[in-house]
């Protein structure tokens, strides 16, 4: 084994001149990938345990290396290890430190592996726990949203299409729509686990190795499901990174849509929700202002998560097999997206906790825009044996009449309506009652109070 002088890069024996200082500074990834230190040490420990089991290294060397690695983990967690940019990344910094602690026997740790498989093993494990963390934040957000929904089952508001009053809904049903999105986000992160659970360790630089390693052993030790199939694909594959970035993008897009909606509802024009002082900010010049800055922050952040997804797609575009330095940027991109999303999920939960519906205004707005017209058409189908198209036409007549008389539908008298639809019975008036309208939508997934209660129960159980 070549002697390793500790003040130089591992490849310092081959590459005589020092790499450009400028590149060492700019090209080094240690400031970013130090976040992988725990995973890197776990991977190295599993690796040397396997090497020992396969009789590739001795019991003594294995123990020495594990002792050193555990010591390094403690040092890093206590912020006591000073990283050196000269050693590029977390893997080489740890290996260098291992040499300092246990001496030349550290040289056995890199038998039958390369940084190419090492870094992906670390990264997959990291993304798996990031997935877990995101799902737990989503669960917490779902719980908080459920609480607000539960309090607002009977809060009536207009449902919009084209931002115009469409039909009456319960505010809880609205909130439950968000929950559907967040639940799908959880599923999306779960769906990514299949690829994340394939163990890259042991494919070495790109060919596999001539050592008699046992990849099933490290697979089990590291919590993967199976080893990857093709060594060349393994070191160049970053699909699992794209999956993660895409899932983050979709989740942040959901938050952005909801944020935009709540900004509109919070505007003075709509005034459908109140935000407590905790989640608004003031203006430097206009003393009266309470601005929904947190929501605007959330709306904007999807811009950076999409950007991160596109950065990675662009890095991968046209990149031949197998490993290239280009790939090193994957960590920074993923960490940025993860940090952004976690921040957004926390902030959004805070907004939901500090949001109150303005029930009077919701009801008032729901009384505008002939919002029960569809209910009247449905009534005519059911009680006057009309086809829906015919009933629609008759209802247009009633709406036009109301518009002419500057009245709401429920302000028209039965006699006035009879001029357009002779034979109309008195019980038609109940279709203009908003609560009745909401509660009549009993089809599965509709806004009836019973349906909402059932969905709330379902998600409460799911989220237990
Ligand atoms: N820091 C490198 C990265 O993240 C590790 C892999 C280095 N491999 C290599 N062949 N230079 O991409």
Kindly report, residue by residue over 226-276, the tens digit of the pLDDT: 999 999 999 999 999 999 999 999 999 999 999 999 999 999 999 999 999
Torsion of CA 77, 112, 121, 21, to 10 degrees: 60
Residue nearest to atom 4 of ligand 1 (CA): 328
Residue nearest to atom 1 of ligand 1 (CA): 89
* One domain, residues 357 and 412: no
Whether the Cβ atoms of residue 412 and residue 401 lie closer than 8 Å to each other: yes
* One domain, residues 337 and 379: no
Does the C-beta of 327 come closer than 6 Å to ligand 1?
A: yes
Active-site amino acid positions: 162, 283
In a domain, 154, yes or no: no
* One domain, residues 305 and 334: yes
**Domain count of the fold of the chain:** 3
Residue 150, CA atoms < 13 Å, CB-side half-sphere: 11
Whether the Cβ atoms of residue 410 and residue 369 lie closer than 8 Å to each other: no
Q: Given a cut of 80, is residue 192 above it in pLDDT?
A: yes
pLDDT of residue 2: 43
Does the C-beta of 328 come closer than 6 Å to ligand 1?
A: yes
CA of 323, closest atom in ligand 1 = 10
Domain of 344: which CATH number? 1.20.200.10
Percent of the chain with pLDDT strictly greater than 90: 89
- The residues pairing with 281 across neighbouring beta strands, listed in sequence order, are 291
Q: For residue 58, report the phi and psi dihedrals to the nearest 5 degrees.
A: -85, 165
Q: What are the pLDDT digits (tens) for 115-146? A: 999 999 999 999 999 999 999 999 999 999 99
For residue 165, count other CB atoms closer than 10 A to its CB.
Answer: 19
Residue with tokens 């459920």: 146
Q: What's the gap in Å between 116 CA and the centre of ligand 1?
A: 6
- Confidence band (pLDDT; 50, 70, 90) for 218? very high
* One domain, residues 136 and 271: yes
* One domain, residues 330 and 403: no
In a domain, 225, yes or no: no
Q: Which of 120, 201, 325, 331 to mutate to test the pocket of ligand 1 (most atoms within 8 A of CB)?
A: 325
- Confidence band (pLDDT; 50, 70, 90) for 6? low
The DSSP string of 283-344 is -SS-TT--B-HHHHHHHHHHHHHHHHHHHHHHHHTTPPSS--GGGGGHHHHHHHHHHHHHHH
Q: What's the gap in Å between 91 CA and the centre of ligand 1?
A: 9
Mean pLDDT value across residues 16-32: 87
Residue with tokens 């991160």: 308
**Looking at residue 281, what DSSP letter applies?**
B
Last residue of a domain, one of 316, 342, 363: 363
Beta strand 226-227 with 156-161 is: unpaired
In a domain, 205, yes or no: no
* One domain, residues 392 and 271: no
- Confidence band (pLDDT; 50, 70, 90) for 1? very low
* One domain, residues 345 and 374: no
Question: How far is 391 from 413, CA to CA, in rounded Å?
Answer: 19
Task: Provide the terminal-to-terminal Cα distance of the chain, rounded to the nearest Å.
Answer: 56
* One domain, residues 17 and 92: yes
Q: What's the gap in Å between 33 CA and the centre of ligand 1?
A: 11
Q: What are the pLDDT digits (tens) for 331-377? A: 999 999 999 999 999 999 999 999 999 999 999 999 988 999 999 99
pLDDT of residue 3: 46
Question: How far is 4 from 180, CA to CA, in rounded Å?
Answer: 57
Q: What are the pLDDT digits (tens) for 277-291? A: 888 888 888 788 888
Domain of 49: which CATH number? 1.10.275.10
* One domain, residues 340 and 385: no
* One domain, residues 175 and 324: yes
Whether the Cβ atoms of residue 434 and residue 372 lie closer than 8 Å to each other: yes
* One domain, residues 295 and 180: yes
CA of 29, closest atom in ligand 1 = 1
pLDDT of residue 220: 98
Last residue of a domain, one of 336, 363, 390: 363
Question: Which structural domain, as residue segments, surrounds residue 402?
Answer: 367-451
* One domain, residues 400 and 338: no
Q: What's the gap in Å between 331 CA and the centre of ligand 1?
A: 11
pLDDT of residue 30: 97
**Looking at residue 412, what DSSP letter applies?**
S
Q: Could you list the beta-strand ranges (E) of 252-293.
A: 273-275
Give the three-class secondary structure for 401. Answer: helix
In a domain, 150, yes or no: no
Residue nearest to atom 11 of ligand 1 (CA): 325
Mean pLDDT value across residues 81-98: 96
Last residue of a domain, one of 310, 341, 363: 363
Instruction: Please choose, from the candidates 366, 440, 387, 406, the residue with its C-alpha nearest in 3D space to the C-alpha of residue 416.
Output: 406
């Amino acid at each position: 084994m070549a002697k390793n002088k500790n003040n130089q890069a591992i490849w310092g024996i081959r590459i005589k001149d020092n790499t450009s200082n400028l590149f060492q500074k700019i090209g080094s990834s240690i400031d970013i990938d130090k976040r992988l230190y725990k995973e890197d040490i776990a991977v190295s420990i599993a690796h040397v345990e396997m090497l020992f089991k396969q009789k590739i290294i001795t019991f003594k060397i294995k123990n020495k290396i594990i002792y050193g690695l555990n010591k390094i983990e403690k040092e890093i967690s206590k912020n006591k290890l000073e990283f050196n940019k000269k050693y590029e990344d977390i893997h080489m910094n740890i290996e260098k430190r291992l040499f300092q602690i246990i001496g030349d026997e550290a040289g056995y740790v890199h038998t039958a592996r390369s940084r190419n498989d090492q870094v992906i093993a670390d990264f997959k494990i990291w993304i798996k726990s990031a997935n877990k963390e995101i799902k737990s934040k989503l669960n917490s957000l779902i719980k908080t949203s459920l609480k607000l929904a539960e309090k607002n089952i009977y809060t009536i508001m207009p449902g919009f299409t084209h931002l115009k009053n469409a039909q009456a809904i319960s505010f809880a049903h609205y909130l439950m729509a968000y929950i559907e999105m967040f639940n799908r986000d959880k599923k999306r992160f779960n769906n990514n686990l299949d690829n994340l659970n394939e163990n890259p360790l042991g494919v070495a630089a790109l060919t596999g190795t001539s050592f008699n390693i046992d990849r099933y052993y490290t697979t089990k030790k590291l919590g993967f499901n199976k080893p990857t199939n093709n060594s060349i694909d393994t070191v160049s594959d970053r699909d699992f990174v794209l999956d993660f970035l895409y899932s983050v993008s979709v989740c942040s897009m959901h938050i952005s849509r909801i944020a935009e909606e709540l900004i509109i509802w919070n505007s003075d024009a709509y005034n459908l929700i109140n935000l407590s002082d905790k989640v608004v900010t003031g203006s430097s010049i206009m003393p009266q202002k309470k601005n929904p800055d947190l929501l605007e922050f959330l709306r904007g952040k999807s811009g950076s998560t999409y950007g991160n997804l596109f950065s990675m797609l662009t890095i991968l575009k046209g990149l031949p097999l197998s490993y290239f330095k280009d790939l090193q940027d994957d960590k920074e991109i993923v960490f940025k997206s993860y940090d952004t999303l976690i921040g957004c999920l926390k902030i959004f939960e805070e907004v939901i906790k500090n949001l109150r519906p303005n029930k009077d205004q919701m009801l008032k707005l729901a009384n505008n825009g002939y919002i029960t017209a569809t209910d009247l058409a449905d009534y005519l189908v059911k009680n006057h044996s009309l086809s829906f198209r015919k009933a629609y036409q008759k209802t247009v007549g009633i709406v036009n009449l109301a518009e002419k008389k500057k009245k709401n539908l429920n302000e028209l008298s039965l006699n006035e309506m009879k001029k357009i639809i002779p034979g109309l019975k008195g019980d038609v008036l109940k279709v203009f009652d908003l609560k009745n309208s909401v509660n009549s939508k009993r089809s599965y997934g509709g806004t009836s109070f019973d349906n909402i209660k059932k969905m709330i129960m379902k998600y409460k159980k799911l989220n237990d």
